[in-house]
Amino acid sequence: MGILFTFSDIRIFNPSAITESAQSFIYLQLMNHRITIFLLLFTSCTASKKNIVKPDSNHFPTTVEKSTSLPARENFYIFILAGQSNMAGRGLVQPQDTISSRLVLTLDKNNEWVYAKEPLHYYEPSRTGLDCGLSFGKKLAALYKKKITIGLVPCAVGGSSIEQWIGDSTYRDVTLYSNLINKARKAATHGTIKGILWHQGEANANTGNYKNYKEKLELFFTKLRNDLGDSTLPVYAGQLGSFLDRKTNPFVDSINNDLKRLSSSFKNFYVINISDFTPKPDSIHFNSRSQRIMGERFAKLVYKTH
């Protein structure tokens, strides 16, 4: 049998008339109330803490949804994502980055079309993070008034140099050029390749690796266009981050100038400005916000030049 005791009950007593045993009883009841209130507050705070989405951790999707039907070939625009880590993506994946669109597909590691959710790249599991792909796809589909489906082909591998791409080197267990060509050809059986999104250069921005960078880029994209059967395939490149340390990367500005020069001399080569981007604490990789903006800028440039 329980005893209901409230604070209002205390007021009916004359303290001087309360026996010692009654005082002990009242004291115990008050302590029980305090303990109960404390436990309720502690439980509430603990539950709330568990539900907090931490901004400094990845939130990868738990499900993958395959596309059961593909759009007509003429309405399926395919873009290849290539380069090194800032294209592969090192940003934190947050819940908003895992919301798919019926108009954005990506070719997964099994060469199957699935509805795109970040992260898109899968070659470096321990380094995987947010790239610009989903942001690009959603923005471009919106610009086309949702009449076009966007197909993404992730091929970027962090740390790769332009020499390794030209030489088809196997780097981090990926044979760079062959993988790109094979993935692109597989994707092209279902749609039309409309362009290459490219971000690379950090690996060539030091003293030992910069020589003839512009010429090597031109050689690489000429070969790629020929192997894909489109001599005018558009290339959309992003500049290197303005925040990069010039002591360890003394040729950052030279590479950005090379990209600018190619946009004038090399047909269908376009460059987006990313001088306002901000890095992660490592001062090398774009943070999540910058990755999303990069995707949108690529999309606007593609739409403008198509």
> Do 233 and 160 have their domain in common?
yes
pTM of the model: 0.82
Does 11 lie in the same domain as 159? Answer: no
**45 and 104 housed in the same domain:** no
Please name the residues in contact with 248: beta carbons below 8 A apart, sequence gap of 6 or more. 206
295, part of any domain: yes
What are phi and psi for residue 61, nearest 5 degrees? -65, 150
pLDDT score for 6? 43
Q: Are residues 108 and 47 in the same domain?
A: no
Q: Quick check: 12 pLDDT over 60? A: no
Average pLDDT of the chain to the nearest whole number? 88
Task: Report the pLDDT value the prediction gives residue 129, as an integer from 0 to 100.
Answer: 97
Residue 83 lies in a domain: yes
**Any residues with CB less than 8 A from the CB of 218 and at least 6 apart, and which?**
262, 266
Whether residue 147 has pLDDT greater than 90? yes
57 inside domain: no
pLDDT band (50, 70, 90) for residue 57:
confident
Is the dihedral angle over the CA atoms 19, 22, 26, 32 positive or is it negative? positive
Asked if the structure places residue 61 within a domain, the reply is no
The set of residues, in sequence order, having a beta carbon less than 8 Å from that of 166 and lying 6+ positions away, is 177, 216, 219, 220, 223
List Cα–Cα distances, 33 to 27, 39, 101, in angstroms.
Answer: 10, 10, 52
* Residue 277: band (very low, low, confident or very high) from pLDDT cuts 50, 70, 90: very high
Residues 24 and 126 in one domain: no
Residue 221 inside a domain? The answer is yes
**Residue 58 in domain:** no
- State both tokens at 41: 């507050």
Query: With helix as H, strand as E and coil as C, how does 18-87 read?
Result: CCHHHHHHHHHHHHHHHHHHHHHHHHHHHHHHHHCCCCCCCCCCCCCCECCCCCCHHHEEEEEEEECHHH
pLDDT at 30: 46
Tell whether 56 is covered by a domain: no
With 60 as the cut, is the pLDDT of residue 39 above it? no
* Weakest mean pLDDT among 60-64, 65-69, 149-153, 177-181: 60-64
pLDDT confidence of residue 16 = 52
pLDDT score recorded for residue 62? 81
| Any domain includes 195 | yes
Q: 130 with 13, same domain?
A: no
pLDDT digits (tens, 9 = 90+) for 78-104: 999 999 999 999 999 999 999 999 999
Give which of 270, 188, 191 is closest to 236, Cα–Cα: 270
Q: What is the CATH number of the domain that holds 109?
A: 3.40.50.1110
The whole domain housing 187 covers 73-305
Write out pLDDT tens, residues 231-272: 999 999 999 999 999 999 999 999 999 999 999 999 999 999
- The residue that leads in pLDDT, 144 or 17, is 144
What pLDDT is recorded for position 55? 55
pLDDT value, residue 176:
98
**What is the average per-residue pLDDT within 4-18?**
45
Amino acid at residue number 285: H
Cβ partners under 8 Å of residue 230, min gap 6: 193
> Would you state the pLDDT for residue 45?
45
Mean pLDDT on 54-74:
86
pLDDT of residue 41: 44
The proportion of the chain whose per-residue pLDDT surpasses 70, expressed as a percent, equals: 82
Average pLDDT of span 28-45: 48
113: pLDDT confidence band, cut at 50, 70 and 90?
A: very high
Same structural domain, 11 and 88: no
Cβ atoms of residues 136 and 299 within 8 Å: yes
Q: Are residues 94 and 26 in the same domain?
A: no
Check whether residue 126 and residue 248 sit in a common domain.
yes
Give the pLDDT confidence score for residue 54 in this predicted structure.
Answer: 53
Are 79 and 46 contained in the same domain?
Answer: no
Residue 201 and residue 86 share a domain:
yes
Same domain, 21 and 100: no
Name the pLDDT band for 21 (thresholds 50, 70, 90): low
pLDDT at 23: 52
Length of the chain: 306
Name the domain count of the chain.
Answer: 2
